[in-house]
Amino acid sequence: MSESCKNYIDGHWLEATTHKTFENRNPADRHDLIGLFPVSGADDVDQAVQAAKRAFARWRLVPGPKRGEILYRVGELLRKHKEEIARGMTREMGKILKESRGDVQEGIDTALYVAGEGRRFFGQTTPSELPDKFAMSVRAPIGVCALITPWNFPMAIPTWKMFPALLCGNTVVFKPAEDTPHTAVKLAEILTEAGVPPGVVNLIHGRGEEAGAALVRHSDVRVVSFTGSAAVGREIASVCGQNLKRVSLELGGKNAQIVMEDADLNLALEGALWGAFGTTGQRCTATSRLILHRDIKKQLTEMLMARAEKIKIGDGLDESVEMGPLINRAAREKVHRYVQIGKAEGARLLIGGAIYDEGNWADGYFYRPTIFDQVIPSMRIAQEEIFGPVLSIIEVNSFEEGIDVLNATAYGLSSSIYTRDVGRAFRAMRDIEAGITYINGPTIGAEVHLPFGGVKDTGNGHREAGTTVYDIFSEWKSIYVDYSGKLQKAQIDNAE
């Protein structure tokens, strides 16, 4: 069953002024039309931004605990509709139901965590250097926030951004990826049911180069939060820099798992399989490089091949399926192109490297789990983000070499090391260049109460989730109250 959906602006569901639509289809079966969604243009974006700007004048005055209570209700409604949303998400973007349920659960966890911050939105008090003077700092909202989100976590990532932005007293214009508009509609419906006032959250569908670009460039947008590719992130940063507009970028990754000779190989195997092939490798934290100590490389490689070849591929709505499709034709073509690049570079293809179109799956965007061996760290398949089920094995001779290889990319999002040596574990925590480091765990699986983000080309230094996210969506204001009844001069040498 398909649906026809609209933008959500100022509490109303509206058609785009362009009167154009785009199709949303199931990547497991491209004959399954989920719905038609509006292709928004600059006029639609302006309408949404103006609604958010008007609503900001009221929303910023709502007490923080009250804003938190609304977000708590959002979390409870997400919990109530979890299975419905998860099944729609799997149909829309392909990942298996267990993962879709986890995606919704992240939204629930974020709602409950942020709701509690409504009564913990702490500033600081500090002694003044002068007598009869009080000094403190508080957080203040900024204004209209543009949230531009990807398709691979269509509930978790929007809520990571949106709920903290709302708690701070900001209003939002939300532009989801074209591949996952249905989940965004469900989120907007729940926000409305929970009591978020009209204009506080506005939903705009459309293409990045049209609606997204107009949103980034809009003069009344004060903050831009973007998750996506490094190339697009650079363009957004350039535009925001020219306009002195705050921007938070969470970009790509080329994450690696190191396995040392003393590791629990069964545990490392499970981590590599989940990290490389979970969500069909379509995570910014996915394990795309497996760095193996020479003493265990042959054994673990054989174990990995045997397990990866047995991964059940198919429609994620089937509870027995372990890996779903890639998101669309372009994504599958990109993955296959990188497989050809790897072979041309001299890497040895162990398994996979081909489209999966057996049985009923000829009408989906499926690809076989793919493993390369004899990969050199300088190869493109070891340096560039593929965003698919492709794993590159790199052999090293020592712990130190493993750390050097892990760090030798332009990215620095997530990392992992498997070892029983506590000294190595702590040196890895110290020396790895990444925003996230796992010890004896896979590179995927962030928790909402810790900062999320990376270094180098992975972003511009901001961190989502945890408490650090509030530094994106709020301004610090310093406040002084002088009750001395006379002029007191700070920053003047008053020493006797």
For 428-445, the DSSP string reads: HHHH--SSEEEESS-S--
Burial class (CB in 10 A: 0-12, 13-18, 19+), 254: buried
User: How many other β-carbons are positioned within 10 Å of the β-carbon of residue 136?
Assistant: 14
Q: Which two tokens stand for residue 468?
A: 């650090």
How far is CA 484 from its chain centroid? Answer: 50
How far is CA 290 from its chain centroid? Answer: 22
DSSP state of 152: S
Alpha carbon separation from 471 to 87, 135, 181, 226, 434 (Å, rounded) = 34, 20, 28, 15, 20
d(CA 461, CA 382): 24
Decide if 284 is catalytic. Answer: yes
d(CA 142, CA 53): 11
Q: Measured on CA atoms in the order 28, 33, 36, 39, is the torsion positive or negative?
A: positive
d(CA 251, CA 464): 12
Phi, psi of 79 (to 5 degrees): -65, -45
d(CA 415, CA 258): 8
How far is CA 206 from its chain centroid? Answer: 19
d(CA 7, CA 51): 13
Q: Where are the alpha helices (DSSP H) in 309-421?
A: 329-345, 399-407
Q: In what order do the strands lie in the sheet with 133-141?
A: 124-127, 133-141, 474-482
d(CA 139, CA 74): 23
d(CA 177, CA 202): 15
Q: Which two tokens stand for residue 50?
A: 């103006």
**Short-list 205, 197, 75, CA closest to 151:** 205
| Catalytic residue chosen out of the listed positions 178, 250, 395, 464 | 250
Burial class (CB in 10 A: 0-12, 13-18, 19+), 200: buried
Which is it for strands 171-175 and 124-127: parallel, antiparallel or unpaired? Answer: unpaired
| Catalytic residue chosen out of the listed positions 5, 145, 168, 284 | 284
Active site residues: 250, 284
